[in-house]
Amino acid sequence: MPEEKQVSMSKILVTGGCGYIGSHTIVDLVQNGFEVVSVDNNSRSHASVMQGIEKITGQKVKNYKVDLCNFDDTFAIFQENEDITGIIHFAAYKAVGESVEQPLMYFENNLNSLINLLKCVQEFETPHFVFSSSCTVYGNPDSIPVTEASPIKPAESPYGLTKQMGEQIITEFSKVNEMHAILLRYFNPVGAHPSSLIGELPVGKPSNLVPAITQTAIGKLPQLKVYGDDYPTRDGSCIRDYIHICDISHAHTLALQYLIDKKYSEKCEVFNLGTGNGVTVLEVIKAFEKVSGVKLNYSIGPRRPGDVVAIYANNDHARTSLNWNIEYNLDDMMSSAWNWELHLKQDEALFNKQNTGLN
């Protein structure tokens, strides 16, 4: 009698597993008992991230270096892992400015990869799907905090449009397939794992605020530019809902468990992932200076086109239905981001030393 194939009831495919949110989510999944495989073509990420994951969890997670826009290669992953019971889909281009300059590249990459994945879901009858969406789907909200029922406004960029279209594609697909889905709308994920072994690795000059702050503080960038202090807010700078990457990653584990436990009431459910607190750019800078002890070199510049004045989440749905609790505050976000930047500098020094023969 051939040995019964061991089918893990919880093998999860994480796409974009070498990325910022993907890597932190793999750590949380593994630490909560899930078996994980990753797919990431490393076009916008580093394969070495998997070593950081192994150091934290003690587990080696396999990454398939595959472009999800290649259907045959994607299909082969499912053939090799027929016991995949859930997918968390992060893999996508996400630079707002770049999407404005190269819209077709964004539509082709972000939508073709999703459609290929869903074709495999259909073929292999994968039951659970969690999608990485963004608060950007709300555009410039009429009222804040935004709930999941807040109106979806015209996207501010082709990147934001691919998130809106992705949500609609998944919603329509789930109506006529067994798959149940959850759409997670992130606000502003920041910070790094407390171990400083994984964190955000922006490609080129960072467009997001917190890596721009830490790279300025450590001397990689000459000065931080604050994009406008003449907005109708308490100190004139924009308001956002910054949330620790580890709170975001744990929400993915809870979302998956929610699907596995069949707690859903619809085929496709939406959850806001934000702290519910709005914080201004200048307040973020003050918090960073407080926890790092570094006086940040910044100046006020003109507004950045496409920026919304203020947005932050009503997170009641995620807190109650997913039993999700926010563990980290703004100081934790700033200190973990700074420790990660310091770790990168140490690593670079070690790398240079090793590569120049100096011991």
Helix axes 103-124, 71-80, angle to 10 degrees: 30
Alpha-carbon gap, residue 333 to 246, rounded angstroms: 9
SS (H, E, C) 292-353: HCCCCCEEEECCCCCCCCECCECCHHHHHHCCCCCCCCHHHHHHHHHHHHHHHHHHHHHHHH
Give the bridge partners for 188, in sequence order. 242
- Known catalytic residue at 20: no
How many CA atoms are closer than 13 Å to the CA of 158, on its beta-carbon side? 18
CB of 119 vs ligand WQD, minimal distance in Å: 25
The nearer residue to ligand WQD, 213 or 268, going by C-beta atoms, is 213
In order of 28, 46, 186, 195, 206, the CA distances from 254 in angstroms are: 10, 27, 15, 22, 30
Pick the piece of the chain touching ligand WQD (CB under 6 A) from 205-213, 252-260, 269-277, 336-344: 205-213
Pick the piece of the chain touching ligand WQD (CB under 6 A) from 65-73, 112-120, 143-151, 221-229: 221-229
**225 touches ligand WQD (CB under 6 A):** yes
The nearer residue to ligand WQD, 41 or 134, going by C-beta atoms, is 134
Q: DSSP letter at 35? A: E
Residues contacting ligand WQD: total by CB under 6 A:
18
CB of 81 vs ligand WQD, minimal distance in Å: 27
Phi/psi of residue 284, each to 5°? -65, -45
The pattern of x and - marking residues 134 through 153 that bind ligand WQD according to CB under 6 A reads: x-x-----------------
**180 touches ligand WQD (CB under 6 A):** no
**155 touches ligand WQD (CB under 6 A):** no
Member of 11, 286, 304, 319 binding ligand WQD (CB under 6 A): 304
Alpha-carbon gap, residue 243 to 28, rounded angstroms: 16
The nearer residue to ligand WQD, 151 or 305, going by C-beta atoms, is 305
The nearer residue to ligand WQD, 117 or 243, going by C-beta atoms, is 243
Alpha-carbon gap, residue 67 to 163, rounded angstroms: 19
CB of 4 vs ligand WQD, minimal distance in Å: 42
**281 touches ligand WQD (CB under 6 A):** yes
Which residues within the stretch 340-359 sit at the binding site for ligand WQD (CB under 6 A)? Answer: none
Pick the piece of the chain touching ligand WQD (CB under 6 A) from 51-59, 119-127, 204-212, 244-252: 204-212
**212 touches ligand WQD (CB under 6 A):** yes
Q: Tell me if residue 141 falls in helix, strand or coil.
A: coil
The nearer residue to ligand WQD, 86 or 274, going by C-beta atoms, is 274
Q: DSSP letter at 60? A: -
Member of 96, 245, 279, 326 binding ligand WQD (CB under 6 A): 96
How many CA atoms are closer than 13 Å to the CA of 285, on its beta-carbon side? 23
Question: First and final CA of the chain: distance in angstroms?
Answer: 58
Member of 188, 214, 249, 257 binding ligand WQD (CB under 6 A): 188
Residues at the site binding ligand WQD, with contacts judged by CB under 6 A: 94, 96, 134, 136, 188, 207-209, 212, 224-227, 238, 240, 281, 304, 307
Active site residues: 159
